[in-house]
Amino acid sequence: MAEVVLFHHVQGLTDGIRAFAEELGTGGHTVHTPDLFDGERPATIDDGIAFADGIGFKALSERVDRAVAELPGGLVYGGFSMGSAQAQRLAQTRPGARGALLYEGCIPLTGDWAFGPWPDGVAVQIHGMDKDPLFALEGDLDAARELVETVGPELGQLFLYPGDRHLFEDSSLPSYDPDAAAQVLRHSREFLDRLG
């Protein structure tokens, strides 16, 4: 069974993210959900971006590193939007990663924000809506396509869902799309089952 660390989005560790993690863990997988915001749950995405900016990327990354420091190697790193950047960073830089589940976010493999090359043998699955302004229209979708092409079809998958919602997997937010979220969970569990 896989062991997963799942990082929340800019609205914090919501009840919807906890519910998603619980569903993801069905079938025997272990899912850890660290709270990078110490209980804060910003009301909107804009509020969350401002809150995260107040902490700073470096300090958030330090919180992430502390959250995984005592966990074993061989992890799958997952994250939603802001959290996907941290998941991708660990998948690319922490030795022993088995895979990455990137929800509504992807960092390019080259450029100012890049974490370096993708490690050999690390699987990745990416999910997002095809008209989401924060995923499809700001470059993340292009980065996702590049990453999946780089790792190849045996290790990389990109799933696009019709719509323009961001954070559509979170059942506690107005942006929730139950049909798309159910598909995301099904694909994600299949990914974890393959990794064993």
CATH code of residue 58: 3.40.50.1820
User: What per-residue confidence (pLDDT) applies to 64?
Assistant: 97
- Write out the two tokens for 92: 């690319």
Range of the domain at 53: 3-195
How would you list the strands of the sheet with 76-80, edge to edge? 30-32, 3-7, 76-80, 99-103, 123-129, 156-161
Identify the band that residue 196 occupies on the pLDDT scale cut at 50, 70 and 90.
confident
User: What per-residue confidence (pLDDT) applies to 73?
Assistant: 86
User: What per-residue confidence (pLDDT) applies to 11?
Assistant: 98
Question: How many structural domains compose the chain?
Answer: 1
Query: 3-state secondary structure string, the chain?
Result: CCEEEEECECCECCHHHHHHHHHHCCCCCEEECCCCCCCCCCCCHHHHHHHHHHHCHHHHHHHHHHHHCCCCCCCEEEEECHHHHHHHHHHHHCCCCCEEEEECCCCCCCCCCCCCCCCCCCEEEEEEECCCCCCCCCCHHHHHHHHHHHHCCCCEEEEEECCCCCCCCCCCCCCCCHHHHHHHHHHHHHHHHHHC
In the chain, pLDDT over 70 holds for what percent of residues? Answer: 100
pLDDT, tens digit (0-9, with 9 covering 90-100), for 115-165: 999 999 999 999 999 999 999 999 999 999 999 999 999 999 999 999 999
pLDDT, tens digit (0-9, with 9 covering 90-100), for 61-111: 999 999 999 998 899 999 999 999 999 999 999 999 999 999 999 999 999
User: What per-residue confidence (pLDDT) applies to 28?
Assistant: 93
pLDDT, tens digit (0-9, with 9 covering 90-100), for 70-82: 998 899 999 999 9
pLDDT higher than 90, residue 42 = yes
